[in-house]
A and B are shown apart, each in its own frame.
Chain A
């Protein structure tokens, strides 16, 4: 069974120089607008129960496509067939009325989903309970914090256990507790057989969550296929665009939320000048402040990146089934006994993730800079040494 069927969908936005031109156009019958096509000739299908990621640059048409899938925007041309039981997490809370109470906004939101009065009353307690807003539910929404509004938006959007869930960068809702709760809710919905359309700039999450992916470029499908292949192709294209001007490696501030585990420090286990030889032992020590989190909920991912943005290698304790240890702090040594990298400038990316691999507690990008030098050209050219052998035949 198909959860989604899009046939030659195009969406054009008429752009009027002034609002008044809309009226003049209608009265005189002469065109007074130009049309910007955000989507052109989009066709794909999604089986019920499968997951689809959408990647692409800003302005590629991702948000427009999600709006079409969510049913809040009618395409200019083409056919979009989707199940009625769909929920969209797009700009959570954007449609709320600030002067109304949380309760009234829930009622309106549920009515907009097509529920009757009886059904609204049936689902009200579930939304309030999931959003954890019981004490404030009668208060006007303008008194809510942005996190509370997003919690309410998420609870409202997912209360009906949809058959098609459309998510736009919505995995960071509210505080850490609610982030985990919302992520769990999404996973439950998907596990129950719903299809998922997930749009994110976080390609790691797209790879983890989605089986298939679409790469949109200037409103058209550049590639559609298995998520891993599409994301890899998209990343390659991004790198090719940037390789003209090699990235200047510069330290980037760490980025963690309070009361979450974070990377206390990271340092190379090396000589003072941070220069390694190809084939030499390489190591890095990462100290993690667990911040009272159970150590089994914390994992470390490390990516080695060259200064032309090439990701040389990445791995995590989660994917290799390594459990961290410690109570307040966890210390991790990442060691490569024989560094296969060839000459170049490198740095590390460190990712502190949860046990689902989807939530990022903390990250350090472009840290622990180091240089690799070769003893001779005989060690090879390129990014790294690969195990190999030669066979020579005389004919």
Chain B
């Protein structure tokens, strides 16, 4: 997305990019009373509450999973992927509009802006993953192996995030109701994606239907990698190829429209 022509320019852009990411996080989190604590408290609270409700109270275990793997870890692994993507998708439509003055009055390259969202999401996911890894260590699981299995799926998540951020930031300017529509779609997606249940737990004809939902593959990839410590190349590779195609199409469309966006901002 970024036309980097030289070392000097690349260095200038990296400083500007770092500054934009820092200010994005600062505006959203660090300026609040709780500050950075909210970033840690939110996933930690989810982890503790889910473990207590689904583990201790309901004694839920995933069918099809290995013995000893509790529902709460699967749930949290799935939610980490889903929530991070949802965060990017819901913020993207307002991304350029919120920076209208910057884009019109400075030399800020519009192509840089969607990447700010992707970088911010990486930090948020990193904190949640770190907490999950610590939790799993306490549970006696092997977190380092799980981390290695998770990284390929993170690549997929980043491809989706950058494609979504680029495309939705442009569409958000021309389609004024996009954010509301997206919130509704994501609410439905949360329910029709196997996060709160395992794909194997639902009737087979519905399983086939849910396989049309691309989120299913990513969520299952996160859950399998992080909780079971497994990485299935044959499951990952087709998703990667499909993601690359979607990424290329989305980013190409955004790159074509971005130079003209200033005229309708």
Contact = CB atoms under 8 A, between A and B. Distances in A.
A339 interface: no
Contact of B261 (A22, A33, A99, A115): A22
B16 interface: yes
Interface residues of B, number: 31
A27 B26 CA distance: 37
A144 to B, nearest CB: 15
A23 B168 CA distance: 12
Contacts of A23: 171, 174-175, 257
Contacts of A183: none
Interface string A89-117: 01100111101100010011001101111
A160 B208 CA distance: 63
A16 B27 contact: no
B107 A72 contact: yes
A15 B263 contact: yes
Contacts of A99: 27, 31
A99 B11 CA distance: 27
Contact of A72 (B16, B106, B171, B256): B106
A204 interface: no
Interface in A32-82: 33, 71-72, 74
A108 to B, nearest CB: 6
A300 B124 CA distance: 64
A112 B101 CA distance: 13
Given A22-B260, A117-B15, 20 more contacts: A23-B257, A26-B256, A33-B263, A72-B107, A91-B105, A95-B101, A95-B105, A96-B101, A97-B102, A100-B23, A107-B23, A108-B19, A111-B15, A111-B16, A111-B20, A112-B16, A112-B107, A116-B11, A120-B15, A140-B31
Interface string B221-262: 000000000000000000000000000000001001101110
Nearest to A13: B263
Contacts of B264: 16, 19, 22
A369 B82 CA distance: 77
Contact of B23 (A13, A26, A91, A108): A108
Interface residues on A, range: 20 to 34
Given A14-B263, A16-B263, A94-B105, A114 B12 contact: yes
B194 to A, nearest CB: 34
Contacts of B259: 74
A19 B173 contact: yes
B20 A108 contact: yes
Most B CB atoms within 10 A — which of A14, A22, A100, A112? A112
A90 B107 CA distance: 13
Contacts of A395: none
B102 A72 contact: no
15 contacts: A20-B175, A22-B174, A22-B257, A22-B261, A23-B174, A23-B257, A71-B107, A72-B104, A72-B107, A90-B105, A95-B105, A104-B26, A111-B19, A114-B12, A116-B12
B19 A20 contact: no
Given A20-B175, A100-B23, A72 B12 contact: no
B96 to A, nearest CB: 11
Interface of B: 11-12, 15-16, 18-20, 23, 26-27, 31, 101-102, 104-108, 171, 173-176, 253, 256-257, 259-261, 263-264
Contacts of B175: 19-20, 23
Interface string A127-156: 000000000000010000000000000000
Given A14-B263, A112-B16, A26 B102 contact: no
**Those 4 A-B pairs whose CB atoms lie nearest each other, nearest first:** A95-B105, A111-B19, A19-B264, A114-B12
A71 B104 CA distance: 11
A11 B128 CA distance: 48
Contact of B15 (A13, A14, A90, A116): A116
Contacts of B12: 114-116
A112 B173 contact: no
Contacts of B174: 19-20, 22-23
Contacts of A90: 105
Nearest to B98: A97
Interface string A170-183: 00000000000000
Given A104-B23, A112-B16, A116-B15, A95 B173 contact: no
A100 B26 contact: yes
Contacts of B102: 95, 97, 112
Contacts of A108: 19-20, 23
Contacts of A71: 107
A14 B261 CA distance: 10
B23 to A, nearest CB: 6
A90 B104 CA distance: 11
B15 A115 contact: yes
